[in-house]
């Protein structure tokens, strides 16, 4: 979406809709922005009849003549004293969703003025509310069905906004392009978005993004590096595995360096411990961590962040074949540690163990953050709106929780209880890959912790939040694109 500005109401250009904000007041809706007299006159009717009260996200469209727009939308922002960026996102998301349905392509926005909030925050709430739901995955829809295709809002004019704030708006638009890039990858067919496809997306970033360098390992190189756990998971697939390192150097003089590591299982059947019907249908989204890593690097470069961040992902399918890795067998990974495979469906932690161990040893980062659709247990614990965070470092925890509340991509810290490590003990290997159902996401976290040594590390279990069955507020259905806004905000806090 393109954001532009007009200096005042009287200089605005024609559009499909003018959005006028209102607070919910004691006696009904109250104007949240200065309006011209003819506009207030037009709205007297609906306001005096109390057809519209200004509740958060409430919207009423009235038809007007003699204006630059044929329609005026009264938009409720709720109570003025309670306004937050998140509430603005939710309110303006209603505008974006209505525009999609009604196929409105260009809108004019009269922003509210609010004493308790900076213009920067106002712009953030409005823009993200408009941008985040403004997405539809229609690539696989047949042409004849395209008349049902929702229209994507193309242009929003922010009336009375200065150049600096407009530049901020454009940054949110850039960021949401990376979110949508991730959504397309996660929503795409598993047979299209293969490890090879993710590898070529990584290669493309090097070509299209400034200060980005991509290194790809093919199967031969992965064998040479002795990434035996990634290779074990890959045994059941006819497609080769991929290991990718994508470096963005936004601050070459600094040695500070964050690595984000993603789980890239392009389809998770469960392997020989096959998933039942009902649990496998969304498993094309099991590469959401790797997709987020690609989106984070793309966004960091597009926004010109003055930080160094490297994306790493390991990718393979977890399929079934005569060659499949087997429950009860023991494999050694990059770190040299041997792992007893207690369940082939716990494959994510295996490929991450190799990626984390490699990252610690070869990339020597200041900190690591991994993103992985790792356990069903985290969804049971926190639902589909909160990501599980496990970390060995309190500073990382604070920054990630802060980034979560700033972006609305909420994270909640969970413990890494030493007591539960007992469950991962194996009689025949250095460690066992699973430790029973209870506290499943914590045991997965404990398993990963074994491969990061003393490096500050945070694990984000996005199994509940990466792929959702219902659209909610400003989040579209299916792939959410989680992780991009969160980690970019985290990097900006460093």
Q: Which residues bind Zn ion (CB under 5 A)?
A: 265, 268, 286, 345, 347-348
Q: Which of 453, 433, 431 is nearest to 338 (CA)?
A: 431
**Closer CB to ligand BES, 286 or 340, in the complex:** 286
Rg (CA), the chain: 24
Contacting residue, 214, 266, 310, 375, with ligand BES by CB under 6 A? 375
* Strand 411-413 to 387-391 pairing: parallel
Query: Hey, which residues does 262 pair with through a beta bridge?
Result: 313, 371
Contact call for residues 223 and 334 (beta carbons, < 8 A): no
Contact call for residues 96 and 134 (beta carbons, < 8 A): yes
Contact call for residues 105 and 134 (beta carbons, < 8 A): no
Q: Does 84 bind ligand BES (CB under 6 A)?
A: no
H-run or E-run covering 73: strand 71-76
- Residue 308 Ramachandran class (φ > 0 left, ψ -120 to 50 alpha, else beta): beta
Q: Does 480 bind ligand BES (CB under 6 A)?
A: no
Contact call for residues 338 and 245 (beta carbons, < 8 A): no
The catalytic residue among 349, 367, 443, 485 is: 349
Q: Could you tell which of Zn ion, ligand BES, none binds residue 403, using a CB distance below 5 to 8 A set by kind?
A: none
Task: Determine the interface stretch with ligand BES among 74-82, 138-146, 343-351, 383-391 (rule: CB under 6 A).
Answer: 343-351
Min dist. Cβ of residue 344 to Zn ion (A): 8
Min dist. Cβ of residue 463 to ligand BES (A): 4
Q: Does 57 bind ligand BES (CB under 6 A)?
A: no
Task: Determine the interface stretch with ligand BES among 21-29, 238-246, 340-348, 472-480 (rule: CB under 6 A).
Answer: 340-348
Q: Which of 39, 289, 284, 299 is nearest to 159 (CA)?
A: 39
Rounded distance between C-alpha atoms, residue 217 and residue 219, angstroms: 7
**Closer CB to ligand BES, 227 or 377, in the complex:** 377
Contacting residue, 339, 463, 482, 487, with ligand BES by CB under 6 A? 463
**Closer CB to Zn ion, 98 or 266, in the complex:** 266
Contacting residue, 286, 340, 354, 409, with ligand BES by CB under 6 A? 286
The tokens describing 68, both together, are 């630059």
The tokens describing 324, both together, are 């499949």
The catalytic residue among 155, 275, 402, 473 is: 275
Task: Determine the interface stretch with ligand BES among 123-131, 149-157, 371-379, 482-490 (rule: CB under 6 A).
Answer: 371-379
Which residues are part of the catalytic machinery? Answer: 275, 349
Q: Which residues bind ligand BES (CB under 6 A)?
A: 268, 286, 343, 345-348, 373-377, 434, 440, 463
């Amino acid at each position: 979406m393109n954001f532009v500005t007009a200096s005042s109401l009287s200089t605005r250009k024609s559009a499909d809709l003018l959005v006028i904000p209102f607070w919910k007041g004691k006696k009904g809706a109250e104007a949240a922005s200065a309006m011209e007299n003819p506009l207030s006159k037009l709205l007297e009717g609906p306001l005096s009849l109390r057809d519209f009260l200004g509740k958060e996200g409430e919207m009423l469209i009235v038809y007007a003549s003699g204006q630059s727009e044929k329609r005026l939308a009264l938009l409720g922002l709720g109570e003025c004293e309670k306004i937050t960026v998140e509430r603005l996102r939710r309110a303006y998301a209603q505008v974006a969703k209505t525009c999609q349905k009604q196929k409105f392509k260009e809108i004019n926005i009269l922003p509210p003025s609010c004493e308790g909030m900076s213009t920067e925050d106002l712009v953030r709430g409005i823009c993200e509310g408009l941008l985040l739901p403004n997405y539809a995955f229609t690539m696989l829809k047949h042409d004849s069905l395209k008349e049902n295709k929702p229209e994507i809002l193309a242009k929003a004019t922010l009336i009375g906004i200065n150049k600096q704030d407009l530049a901020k708006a454009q940054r949110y638009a850039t960021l949401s392009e990376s979110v949508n890039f991730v959504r397309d990858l996660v929503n795409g067919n598993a047979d299209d978005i293969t490890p090879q496809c993710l590898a070529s997306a990584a290669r493309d970033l090097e070509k299209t993004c400034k200060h980005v360098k991509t290194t790809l390992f093919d199967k031969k190189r992965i064998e040479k590096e002795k990434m035996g756990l990634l290779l074990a998971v890959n045994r059941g697939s006819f497609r080769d595995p991929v290991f990718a390192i994508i470096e963005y150097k936004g601050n070459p003089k600094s040695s500070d360096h964050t690595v984000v590591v993603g789980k890239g299982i392009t389809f998770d059947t469960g392997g020989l411990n096959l998933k039942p019907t009902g649990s496998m249908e969304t498993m094309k989204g099991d590469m959401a961590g790797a997709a987020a890593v690609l989106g984070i690097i793309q966004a960091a470069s597009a926004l010109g962040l003055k930080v160094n961040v490297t994306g790493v992902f390991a990718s393979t399918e977890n399929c079934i074949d005569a060659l499949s890795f087997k429950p009860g067998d023991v494999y050694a990974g990059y770190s040299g540690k041997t792992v007893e495979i207690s369940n082939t469906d716990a494959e994510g932690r295996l490929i991450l163990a190799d990626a984390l161990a490699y990252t610690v040893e070869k990339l020597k980062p200041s900190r690591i953050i991994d993103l992985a659709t790792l356990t069903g247990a985290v969804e049971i614990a926190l639902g589909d709106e909160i990501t599980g965070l496990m970390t060995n470092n309190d500073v990382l925890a604070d920054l990630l929780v802060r980034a979560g509340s700033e972006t609305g991509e909420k994270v909640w810290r969970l413990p890494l209880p030493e007591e539960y490590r007992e469950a991962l003990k194996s009689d025949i290997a250095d460690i066992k890959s699973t430790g029973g159902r209870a506290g499943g996401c914590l045991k997965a976290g404990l398993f990963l912790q074994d491969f990061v040594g003393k490096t500050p590390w945070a694990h984000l279990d996005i199994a509940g939040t990466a792929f959702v069955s219902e659209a909610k507020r400003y989040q579209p259905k299916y792939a959410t694109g989680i992780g991009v806004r969160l980690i970019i905000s985290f990097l900006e806090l460093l």
